[in-house]
Amino acid sequence: MALTSKKRRFVESKAAGASNREAAEAAGYAAGSASAAGSRLAKDPDVVAALEKLKAPRNVKPEPEREAFEADPAGDESGDLVDLPNTDDPLVWLLALMNDPQAKIFDRRNAAQSALPYFHGKKSGMGKKEQKLEEAAKVGASGNRFGLRDRHLKAVK
């Protein structure tokens, strides 16, 4: 079975040297259950295989790197979020993350899902009374003798 996003984030954190609990918290598990989740994930065959794949030597004689990447001067831990605008408006930030082609598809989907209520409001259904009145109006519109009558006056004299 393929690695889920949480398992993949657990493997990345574990390969970076985090403990099981810390890696589980970094993967998105709740702090209360992170210890148990980390222990369970550490025994998972897919996770073990992915960790072995990361730790295995890739090439005995690696080719020299052509370009050396510079470290992030700002010291930002999440290097993939550097290009996003620094703004107070959360909608602008969410839209920028949603449209960023370098962002992970998981993050882009979450940003789109979070921005959705700003554009498409939730349609509310009718209440019971309004629904009864509408159905009665449909029956009364047909001109039969069982249709709606005018309502009584509610004003008190």
Higher-confidence residue of 9 and 119: namely 9
Q: Is residue 146 part of a domain?
A: no
Q: Is residue 38 part of a domain?
A: yes
Residue 100 has pLDDT above 80, yes or no: yes
Would you state the pLDDT for residue 39?
A: 92
> pLDDT tens across 110-144, in order?
988 988 888 877 777 778 888 888 887 777 666 66
Task: Give residues with Cβ within 8 angstroms of 13, minimum separation 6.
Answer: 22, 23, 26, 27
Would you state the pLDDT for residue 151?
A: 66
Looking at the fold, whether 85 and 47 belong to one and the same domain comes out as no
Q: Is residue 61 part of a domain?
A: no
* CA distance between the termini of the chain: 77
Would you state the pLDDT for residue 129?
A: 87
Looking at the fold, whether 44 and 86 belong to one and the same domain comes out as no
> pLDDT tens across 43-64, in order?
999 999 988 888 876 666 666 6
Looking at the fold, whether 50 and 86 belong to one and the same domain comes out as no
- Work out the average pLDDT over 146-156: 66
Q: Is residue 157 part of a domain?
A: no
For the chain, the domain total comes to 2
Residues spanned by the domain of 112: 81-119
Kindly report the pTM of this predicted structure.
0.38
Q: Is residue 137 part of a domain?
A: no
Q: Is residue 9 part of a domain?
A: yes
Looking at the fold, whether 50 and 85 belong to one and the same domain comes out as no
Would you state the pLDDT for residue 61?
A: 66
In contact, 18 and 26? CB cutoff 8 Å: yes
